[in-house]
Homo-oligomer: A and B are copies of this chain.
């Protein structure tokens, strides 16, 4: 286990083309007014693939096309992404448009359409304008240089204010393997996928079935543990491509270095999830809620997500107000098993509630802490050994401003 910890290394200058054999790019094709809006990620060889998708009953056309392709081949070699239009609630025409994106990207790369995933993000319910996309695809020149991944991570954004990239290396079978990710988030962010797109690349060799299981486990602890506004999008997806070019023996849960890999996948996913929460629409702060002493881990995560999703907690943190009454009220309505008289709450390292009752604390000192860009709330229920963490952001004037005028 010690070697596991030592092997995992965050890569500076991290980006999705860090793993061997990946290229990326992004351009402005004309769906948006000015900003880049079309992106392509490609592997030298067909990669094993895993994906998680929104649980929203309304699913956008690109999700259907991508799932279809994954079922057909179990492989993926490229992902074509547009921002500015979600291609959701667009009916048969939307499906045709998503398939056309897939086909045109495949032609451009000289590969089978079923090896191409499609992702879209942006406004729901407007038909795609396909001409700029079809023309744009012709102009895409993916590169294995840092610049290519920067362009990719820019072109997938909507109201995000920063690009989101991370990468780690670890050692498997004595070989260095790299795993990297990029994501977009910002609004309509709640679990079971958020309006988020996440793309993870790795040169590790791993069968799709094991990759899928690992991704599912890690997603619940990371991407599904963030919330910006409780709205679950129609377009969320996270895709992992593993092209095997690092040359390790194929990973399975029985492989002695299996944990090295899942830890790296977890680290990449958690980094991206936290970046998404921190860059929530209008956010000024990242809020982390850590719950311990719950009956189960699942209950702990449910409480953590309820607290971090409470509009009243979010506005209080925005106002740097140590209003723990709202925290305990949210714990109370989370639906979890609890004893009101056993709850302990800390804001940062300051205990504010013990045995369900207020503990005197220095408001002035806590105010200094609350002015920091990252605020941690810890809740201990003293009921069991269940633990969980969730991340979110504060609720600000800018969230309202951004969303009152989004289509205008």
Contact of A400 among B90, B329, B396 (CB under 8 A): B396
Let me know if A89 and B56 touch, CB within 8 A. no
Let me know if B124 and A58 touch, CB within 8 A. no
Q: Is A384 an interface residue (CB 8 A)?
A: no
Q: A333-B55, A407-B321 are in contact. Are A312 and B234 (CB under 8 A)?
A: no
**How many copies make up the complex?**
2
Q: How large is the interface on A (under 10, 10 to 19, 20 to 34, 35 or more residues)?
A: 35 or more
Q: Is A338 an interface residue (CB 8 A)?
A: yes
Q: Is A341 an interface residue (CB 8 A)?
A: yes
Q: A321-B407, A323-B406 are in contact. Are A315 and B356 (CB under 8 A)?
A: no
Q: A58-B340, A333-B56 are in contact. Are A403 and B357 (CB under 8 A)?
A: no
The stretch of A149-157, A224-232, A264-272 in contact with B is A224-232
Q: How far, in angstroms, from A103 to B242 measured CA to CA in the complex?
A: 71
Interface string of A210-249 (1 = CB under 8 A from B): 0000000000000000000111111000000000000000
Q: How far, in angstroms, from A231 to B323 measured CA to CA in the complex?
A: 14
Q: Is A126 an interface residue (CB 8 A)?
A: yes
Q: How far, in angstroms, from A316 to B188 measured CA to CA in the complex?
A: 13
Q: With contacts A58-B332, A89-B357, A323-B406 known, what are 11 further pairs, Cβ within 8 A? A: A57-B338, A124-B328, A187-B312, A192-B333, A229-B312, A231-B312, A231-B333, A311-B311, A318-B404, A321-B404, A399-B400
Across the A-B interface, give the 3 residue pairs with the lowest CB-CB distance, nearest first: A124-B325, A319-B404, A58-B332
